[in-house]
Amino acid sequence: MTPEIVITVGIPGCGKSTYVKALLAKGYRRLNRDAIGGVLNSPTALIYGFLRDCYRAGDRQFILDNTYTRKEHREVLMQVAKELDLPVRVLWFQVPIEQAQVFAARRQVQRYGKVLSKTDYDEKPYCNDPNMFQPGVQYAFVKAMTDPSMDEGFSSIEEITVKTVWGAEYTKRALILDLDGTLRTTPDEKECPYPRDPSEVIILDGRRDLLQRRQAEGWLIFAVSNQSGVSRPPGDAKYVSDANVQASIEATEKGLGIKFDRVLYATERGGPPQTFLRKPMPGMGVLLIEQHKLDPAQCICVGDLKTDQTFAQRCGFQFAWAHDYFR
């Protein structure tokens, strides 16, 4: 047994759980600030008090699986490690934020059966779960990140690449379709690109026949859409009620002559993402993959905006521009 402290460096949602489980199986003692509470910026913090207590009790191998993205937090840890005469090994997770967003959304779906909405974060049990965080948390960690260096006194730094693995049971194929500008338009698209009432739904040319063929061929057909008009105040020129969003979806299905296998839409407004739902965040795609056991590589996402393309890339879907796919 080699006495040591192992720490993880990486943004929240970087996929460190698998590696931590392997160390626990070897007998390492796990200490995590989320479970213990407190801070990382003081040698008298709760987590370091527990570390000292465990050391006095005879433990000599520890895994501190906090994010440790800040150099100043690592400096505090090194003070405590020197006090205990324990070397510190770093597991540095090389995970792009886009992939971490997929991991974070997937954890929400696996734990709670959904991707959290804006209001969910303030309600129990989600607000008490430290692993349920908003996208802004990841962006803040990326901004504050300082790469670990051997100059900080570590025994070693292991760079770890984490791949997204869905599982052997994820085999189904699907079409994942945007709605507005992809399948339908409105009488005055420049004034408002989405229907505020089902009477405004106009099906674009070439959609009906092709989608009927695809459905007959056995493709699952899903619709994913940003519907920020719901978040506008009543009386706003671009306001649309949730009831009218659903009625317009029904009118779209009628016009296409198909029934979507599932429809998901995000109602939050644009700007800095508040949840993982609104495209280009991957939440709606992750929910479909997870609950319908899709193989992302076999799925085609069709859209008309850059946000659709980015959404597809984050989820691992093939992407096609609407004007090409329905040509």
Residue 79 pLDDT class (50, 70, 90 cuts): very high
Extended beta strands in the chain, E state:
4-9, 29-31, 61-64, 88-93, 156-160, 174-177, 184-185, 202-203, 220-226, 262-266, 300-303, 318-321
With tokens 């150099």, the residue in question is: 71
pLDDT tens per residue, range 101-115 = 999 999 999 999 999
**% of the chain with per-residue pLDDT over 70:** 100
- Residues paired with residue 7 on neighbouring β-strands, in sequence order: 64, 90
With tokens 């009477």, the residue in question is: 199
pLDDT tens per residue, range 139-171 = 999 999 999 999 999 999 999 999 889 999 999
User: Is residue 226 over pLDDT 90?
Assistant: yes
Distance CA 310, CA 319 (A): 9
User: Is residue 50 over pLDDT 90?
Assistant: yes
- Residues paired with residue 62 on neighbouring β-strands, in sequence order: 5, 29
Q: How far apart are the first and last CA of the chain?
A: 65
- Check residue 204 and report its DSSP letter: P
pLDDT tens per residue, range 299-326 = 999 999 999 999 999 999 999 999 999 9
Residue 177 pLDDT class (50, 70, 90 cuts): very high
Alpha helices in the chain (DSSP H): 17-25, 33-36, 46-56, 71-84, 97-112, 135-144, 207-216, 242-256, 283-292, 306-315, 322-325
Average pLDDT over residues 61-89: 95
**% of the chain with per-residue pLDDT over 90:** 87
Evaluate whether 116 touches 276 at the Cβ level (below 8 Å): yes
Which residues, 6+ apart, have CB-to-CB distance to 136 below 8 Å?
272, 273, 274
Extended beta strands in 192-273, E state:
202-203, 220-226, 262-266
In terms of phi and psi (left: phi > 0; alpha: psi -120 to 50; beta: otherwise), the region of 271 is: left
Distance of CA 52 to the CA centre of its chain: 36
Tokens in use for 10? 């990486």
Strands 4-9 and 88-93, by their bridges, are parallel
The whole-number pLDDT of residue 241 equals 96
pLDDT tens per residue, range 7-28 = 999 999 998 888 899 999 999 9
**pTM check: above 0.85:** yes
The whole-number pLDDT of residue 197 equals 94
Question: 45: helix, coil or strand?
Answer: coil
Q: Is cis: bond before 125, omega within 30 of 0?
A: yes
Q: Domains in the chain, ordered, with CATH?
A: 4-97+138-160 (3.40.50.300), 174-325 (3.40.50.1000)
